[in-house]
Chain A
């Protein structure tokens, strides 16, 4: 295997006197989508935040492009990394266009209207949405705008924290399909957090299963149904008939 784009080297994270992540070893290859699967509280969000230096490991190293997040300038690393969360975190006082143009703007570059239209088009939003405020969008449209914003800086790494978690099943299915189509085109390296096994199987090249801060399974998505650990069995049982 070539040098991984992102690597967790025996990473632990402690908070509140306990280990929230316990000696995690993970590698994400260039262009690969790794799904972090796990039940609520298993440490998925914590792991994601270690990848763009929102958190620093208590032990071990998180390597991005061969460099530890301790060595990276955190601001620089974050500007090269797209991040989408469930509530998108679109700035409510800025229009969708301004939100999408925010990363270029904070880097001191001019936000290019042409490019913003292109990004909205890429995520399936009509150009006139650029002038709207986030509260004038539906949940699904907001998530699309959030993805457009994450793509604006042409990041090499994308982090998704249950971006479709709050959507109705139909819209969710639609966005999952578009995510796949987009990934076919862009071939970004991505970590996608979810607690939905179906979503994990549809979107992931690999699935890493977290349980109480420990990595229980790390396999190709197609192989997950043969995983035999207790937590994997619990997930397979919960989604039996669905997958």
Chain B
């Protein structure tokens, strides 16, 4: 059995990374447009941010548990795990998209509008490029925390490195726990470093 551990770790690491990539990508696809929308609708800002905040405060194990009985998205398996991970990824990306765009200098925005930009042009040419660094910082936070949260996804059949950790806890096998925890930590560091590097290239 020890013979297979290395390949198991490799396979589960791949699964883990895939979970994180899908969750964060979906998080970006939802939260960036939502953040842009919130810059245009001030009255929606407080309620939507509150909702995202509330989701964030639910302990992850409980959130996975809550989702199991929900029809279509719930049940035991990858789907439930992904939905929960996406929900967690939303807040940092949403908040940073909003903050990044709102931080664009008023004089810059005004002169862009005054030269005749449409709202779409303002977004594409001015706001998103100037907010890119902040948005990316949000994505980085989301990605790193998702690596950690995804280990708990194994509890609802989500797979990934959490499998090893839960099995290790159940059998009081420290080697198994470490075989899940160490690659997860390495993954988090690698993602943090990679996205940090990209972020640095936006430093204007």
Interface residues of A (CB under 8 A from B): 52, 54, 75-81, 83, 85-93, 102-103, 106-107, 133, 149
Contacts and interface: CB of A to CB of B under 8 A. Distances in A.
Contacts of A76: 116
Nearest to A105: B125
User: For chain B, which range describes its interface: under 10, 10 to 19, 20 to 34, or 35 or more residues?
Assistant: 10 to 19
A33 B112 CA distance: 24
B130 A83 contact: no
Contacts of A85: 107, 110-111, 114
B108 interface: yes
Nearest to B132: A93
B114 A93 contact: no
B141 interface: no
Interface in B3-53: none
A52 B111 CA distance: 12
B111 A75 contact: no
B113 interface: yes
A54 B113 contact: yes
Given A54-B113, A106-B125, A89 B108 contact: yes
B201 interface: no
Contacts of A103: 115-116
The CB with the most chain A CB atoms within 10 A, among B105, B115, B121, B204, is that of B115
28 contacts: A52-B114, A54-B110, A54-B113, A54-B114, A75-B116, A78-B113, A80-B116, A81-B114, A81-B116, A83-B111, A83-B114, A85-B107, A85-B111, A85-B114, A87-B105, A87-B107, A89-B105, A89-B114, A90-B111, A91-B112, A91-B126, A92-B204, A93-B130, A93-B204, A102-B125, A103-B116, A106-B115, A106-B116
B118 interface: yes
Contacts of A102: 115, 125
B103 interface: no
Q: Which 5 A-B pairs have the closest CB atoms?
A: A89-B111, A79-B116, A78-B116, A83-B114, A87-B107
Contacts of A90: 108, 111
Contacts of B110: 54, 85, 89
Interface of B: 105, 107-108, 110-118, 121, 125-126, 129-130, 204
Given A92-B130, A93-B204, A106 B108 contact: no
A86 B108 CA distance: 11
A75 B120 CA distance: 12
Contacts of B108: 89-92
Given A89-B108, A93-B204, A106-B125, A79 B115 contact: yes
B115 A83 contact: yes
A106 B130 contact: no
A72 to B, nearest CB: 11
Nearest to B117: A106
Given A92-B130, A106-B125, A78 B114 contact: yes
Contacts of A107: 116
A134 to B, nearest CB: 10
A88 B118 CA distance: 19
A192 to B, nearest CB: 16
The CB with the most chain B CB atoms within 10 A, among A75, A83, A91, is that of A91
A238 to B, nearest CB: 27
A107 B115 CA distance: 10
A91 B129 CA distance: 10
